[in-house]
Amino acid sequence: MKETILEAIKRELIEEQDFQKAYNEEARRKNVRSKEEIREIKTLGGTPHKMYIDRRTKSDILLRLLKRHEKEIEEDTNRIYVYLGTYREKDDFYESGPEDIQVPYDDKNASYSLYKDLEVDREVLISMDERYYFESSVNIITGDYRMLQKEFITTAVNKGQVCAAKQIVKRYRRSFDYDN
C-alpha cells in the first residue's frame, strides 16, 4: 500500500482510539448509579440501561480501517499472498457436492491453487501451469489469514510497512517442493 494510505490509517486509528476512550469513560460514569437512582427509575416504570463498554482491540480497529481503505490499496500491495490450498475440480460422474476437492500441494491431478492477498480481501486462483511462475514472482506465506492480516497491519502501523512485510515473510514463508 502507498505510504499515504498507511498514514491515513494511522490518523484514523488515533481518532478511533480517542473516541473509544471517551465513550468508555462516559459509559463507566453512567453505569455507576446508586441504589436510590435505580429504585427511582424502576418506580417510574423505566429500566436502568447500561452502556456497553467498547472492548475492541487496536488490531481489531486496524483490520476495520484496512477494510475501509481496500479499494485504494487494490493494485499497490506488497505482493504477499496467503496460500489457501490446492484443489482438483470435481468429476461430476463420480462425486457429488458443490465444491472442488482439496488435495495435497503436490497432487498430480490438481487443477489449481488458491491464494489470498494479505492486504486486500481478494482471492487469486492460479492454474497448475502458472503456479511456479506465480509463486516465484510473489511472496507466499501460510497460516490463518485474519491472524496474519492483523499482525501485518499492526506491525506496519507500529514499525513501518517495509519492516512488517519483511517480518511476516520471514516468519511465515511457505517453502515449496518444485521437483514434483
Model confidence band, residue 44 (pLDDT cutoffs 50, 70, 90): confident
* DSSP assignment letter at 97: S
Among the listed ranges 40-49, 64-73, 118-127, 152-161, which one has the minimum average pLDDT value? 40-49
At 141, phi and psi to the nearest 5? -125, 165
What's the rounded Cα separation, in Å, for the pair 28 and 71? 37
pTM for the structure as a whole: 0.75
pLDDT digits (tens, 9 = 90+) for 98-133: 578 899 999 999 999 999 999 988 899 999 999 999
Measure Cα distances from 77 to 26, 116, 121, 139, 140 in Å.
39, 12, 11, 11, 13
* Residues 111, 126 contacting (CB under 8 angstroms): no
State the pLDDT at residue 34.
67
